[in-house]
Structure 1
Amino acid sequence: MADRLDESGIVPFLRAGPAPDRTRREGWQRWRRQRDLFTPAPRLSLEEYAALSPRRRGLHDIHRAATHMNIGLLETPMSARVTRLMRSRLRNNALNFEPGTRDGLMISGGGYLGKTETVCAAAAAFEDVWRDLHHQLLPPPAEGTRDLFVPVAYCRTPVRATPKGLCAAILDFYGAPLPKTLNAMIRAVRDSLRDHRTTALLLDDITRLRLHREDDQDTLDLVRELMDLNVTLVLIGVDIPTSGLVRGGYPNPVTGQWIVAPVSTGKSFNPAAATQTERRFDLVDLDPFDYDTEEGVTAFLAHLAGIEDRLRLFRAWPGMLTEGEMPEYLYRRTRGIVGLLKRLIEDGTADAIESGTEKLTPEQLATIPIRLGNMADRDPSEIPQIPENTSPSPGAPRRRGRNTVFDDHGPRSAEAT
């Protein structure tokens, strides 16, 4: 996925090898370095496309399909709020050299809202800056640490969580050996975080902890203990406030931070955890688009315009996704959930290229169901409900006025003054 031409004059766009596994250090680093390197297909007119050789037309069609599948996660007002908070928290905690607990973050929201990609993108941007800073100020190895510098670690909570399972997931990221006993595994986790100078630990799918099992309660105790290791803990999960993870917690009326004490039941690996300093988290929700306010409609239209700019359909026109009944239809089909919108657009563009229509319309999209693929590794709470009504003109629709936020109403008349 480079931006240079090969010997045939074609921009390479196919991925070499499997997708990077971000739960391993090598995979995370590969993804971080390559996340912005994809080169979209060039914009060609139908005349320019017809002038190509059959082989070049076939390659261009594959490149267009790859472009539509790699639109990426466009920034929204909701994701920008998460990014700003993460950037500030990761930087401030990394610059704090005093011992003690670091305030953490909880990123909550429904399924397919882009929580993981938003958090990983923000963490990768922080790592880019932090690596550059260390390269300039601390180029040689630091005494008492390992040569391998790992500012950010990303792990997924095991489906059936236990303290040993979580320790194994963290150690697997570093490629470290797995001790046999729990105490030895905890020491190995502490050593890996310290020796690799890790400043941010991302724990995805944290709401797999149901807390009705003692193993889940003990695992949550372990998670909270990790905050004492000079590392910023970022927990990612579906609907965290109602999951039980903040059970017994309360928001600070001044700072808004959630104060969460360790659970007092279960056979914790550290029974004294309940008497430790209370842990502090900022809880932020990543919500779907809102279509009931002018600000929400404007943000949704801006998002659709960003997607439209990345499409490579020959018969597309300016406003194809943002004018007429299309915006409301897309919102009705996806309820403003960015993941469902992305899947519908991907399948719609593939159908438009295959059928030769080379455009998107509500009537065409109505024939395309939203399929989410293999859900075997997802918790049922992570799968959003997909609207069943695909008709572009449903009976008795909810009508809303046209968005007039960008209209020029001209000078005020004398009667209005």
Structure 2
Amino acid sequence: MPGIMVSGWGNHGKTATVCSIAAAFEDMWLDLHSRLNPSSIAGTWDLHAPVAYIATPITAKPKSLCEAILTFFGPDRRNMTLPQLIQQVADSLRDHGVKVLIIDDVNRLRMHRADDQDVLDLVRALMGFNVTLILTGVNIPGTGLLREAIWDRTKRHWVLPQLETTRVHGLEVTQTERRFELVELDRFRYDTPADMQVFLNHLRGIEVHLRLAKAKKGMPEYLMRRTDGVLGTLGRRLADGAQAAMDSGRERIDENLLDEIVIGRHVPADEIGPSTGASAPAEPGTTKEDSSKKPGGRRPGRNTTFDDAGPRAAGLCG
């Protein structure tokens, strides 16, 4: 089965949506097999975990990715080589009956780094372990993960080469974009009757869980206007409103209450650019500090106000 990439801008509820769907699948799978692993090996005590979740390591390397997966299960992985770690990952996924592996924050991978390219190769190789991969991240199409980007020194931007195949651990694999289906998770809209109904259904789902004595229904236009349909912003502000309603004794969320809560303006995706503080990626081989230096300039010294020189400098030692 092909993998799935869930992309979207920040605070659009990618991780929460994927984890909610995966949790429902896990319950269904466990009930289907009477909470037993149908592929279990006699005499073993492995935990049955149909769904496994990890976050992409901040400093991603093939070994750190393997260790992150193994940490979910907790086996001893000390002094293992990369081939041993990959074998341990394959054994753990099989022995624990994993059907879905969620890898969050894949936008941390940058294709101009060799280690990150190796990590993406390993991710594709994991698809041969009989698991469905679900990758989530911010603006995946813009990261180059769907096709390895190459830095063009002449044009000074990333370019996508023609499709080609590569070899990973002796296995011939195709490019990422051929092995994954991309799902773009957008904010709620309020343009058509169908869009309105989807937003209303979501609000009704939230109202079911409100435990306020005077809970008020509705306000879809107001909430859409205040949150711009961003799922994370909507949930956070309703939570703030519920807390304020309880603290004030109103026991009701209404427009007057929410007017007292400051909500930051959501910046739409089409407005993101140089004018909003975004900057072009640095050229490979350079650092942020290098790119910010001015010719002939001097790097400012470090503030030493709160440095502790030790007891001898303070005259506390003889």
Same fold (TM over 0.5): yes
Counterpart AA for 2:70:
L
Counterpart pick for 1:121 among 5, 20, 23? 20
| Contact preservation (8 Å) 2:190, 2:196 | yes
Gap runs ≥5 in structure 2: 150-161, 269-318
- Cα displacement string for residues 135-166 of structure 1 (whole angstroms, at most 9, x for unaligned residues): 38877943597643322211111112111110
Matched, 1:161 2:60: yes
Please name the residue that 1:311 is paired with: 210
Counterpart AA for 1:226:
L
Matched, 1:230 2:130: yes
| Contact preservation (8 Å) 1:104, 1:280 | yes
Matched, 1:112 2:14: no
Where 1:135 maps in the other structure, the secondary structure is coil
* Inter-CA distance 184–332: structure 2 relative to 1 (3 Å threshold): same
Counterpart AA for 1:369:
V
Please name the residue that 1:206 is paired with: 106
* Inter-CA distance 294–132: structure 2 relative to 1 (3 Å threshold): closer
| Contact preservation (8 Å) 1:161, 1:219 | yes
Matched, 1:132 2:31: yes
Counterpart pick for 2:224 among 296, 311, 331? 331
- Cα displacement string for residues 108-155 of structure 1 (whole angstroms, at most 9, x for unaligned residues): 222222222222222222222322333388779435976433222111
From the two aligned structures, give the one with the greater strand fraction.
2
Q: Matches of residues 294-309 of structure 1 in structure 2 within 5 Å?
A: 294-309=193-208
Counterpart AA for 1:160:
T
Where 2:226 maps in the other structure, the secondary structure is helix
Counterpart pick for 1:190 among 90, 95, 108? 90
Counterpart pick for 1:359 among 232, 252, 270? 252
| Contact preservation (8 Å) 2:41, 2:95 | no
Deviation at 1:286, TM superposition (A): 1.8
Distance 2:74 2:88 in 1: 11
Gap runs ≥5 in structure 1: 1-101, 250-259, 372-382, 387-417
Q: Matches of residues 73-152 of structure 1 in structure 2 within 5 Å?
A: 102-135=1-34, 141-142=40-41, 147-152=46-51
| Contact preservation (8 Å) 1:217, 1:263 | no
Counterpart AA for 1:334:
T
Please name the residue that 1:245 is paired with: 145
Q: What is the aligned-residue identity percentage? A: 51
Counterpart pick for 1:342 among 224, 235, 239? 235
Deviation at 1:202, TM superposition (A): 1.0
Counterpart pick for 2:118 among 214, 218, 221? 218
Distance 2:259 2:32 in 1: 51
| Contact preservation (8 Å) 2:39, 2:97 | no
* Inter-CA distance 153–282: structure 2 relative to 1 (3 Å threshold): same
Matched, 1:284 2:187: no
| Contact preservation (8 Å) 1:144, 1:195 | no
Where 2:34 maps in the other structure, the secondary structure is helix
Higher mean alpha-carbon deviation, 304-313 vs 149-158, is at: 304-313
- Cα displacement string for residues 297-328 of structure 1 (whole angstroms, at most 9, x for unaligned residues): 222233223333433333444x4xx2xxx432
Counting matched residue pairs gives 253
* Inter-CA distance 128–299: structure 2 relative to 1 (3 Å threshold): closer
TM-score of the superposition, structure 1-length normalised? 0.54
Where 1:166 maps in the other structure, the secondary structure is helix
* Inter-CA distance 167–144: structure 2 relative to 1 (3 Å threshold): farther
Please name the residue that 1:369 is paired with: 262
| Contact preservation (8 Å) 1:179, 1:185 | no
Please name the residue that 2:291 is paired with: none
Distance 1:327 1:345 in 2: 12
Please name the residue that 2:284 is paired with: none
Deviation at 1:179, TM superposition (A): 3.9
Deviation at 1:356, TM superposition (A): 2.6
Counterpart AA for 1:361:
D
- Cα displacement string for residues 176-215 of structure 1 (whole angstroms, at most 9, x for unaligned residues): 1124322221121112112223221111111111222111
Please name the residue that 2:305 is paired with: none
